[in-house]
Amino acid sequence: MRSYEPEEAERLARLGVRVFHMDEVRARGLDVVFDEALEIANLGTEAFGISVDLDVITPEDAPGVAVPAAGGLAGTELAHALERMASETRLAALELVEYCPRRDRNGRSARVAIELLVAALCGPRQDAQVLSTALDRDQP
Q: Average pLDDT, stretch 18-35?
A: 95
Handedness of CA 94, 64, 62, 4 (dihedral sign): negative
Q: Would you tell me how many other CB atoms lie within 10 Å of the CB of residue 65?
A: 23
Residue 126's pLDDT band (cuts 50, 70, 90) = low
Q: What pLDDT is recorded for position 1? A: 82
**pLDDT for residue 127 is more than 80:** no
Which positions ≥6 away from 101 have C-beta within 8 Å? 64, 110
Interatomic CA distance for residues 32 and 29, integer angstroms: 6
**Given this structure, which CATH class describes domain 6-136?**
alpha beta
pTM of the model: 0.83
The residue extents of the domains of the chain are 6-136
pLDDT tops 80 at residue 40? yes
Q: Classify strands 48-53 and 91-97 as parallel, antiparallel or unpaired.
A: parallel
Minimum mean pLDDT among 36-45, 54-63, 121-130: which range? 121-130
**Alpha helix stretches (DSSP H) within the chain:** 6-15, 22-28, 30-42, 75-82, 108-122, 129-136
CA distance 59 to 55: 8
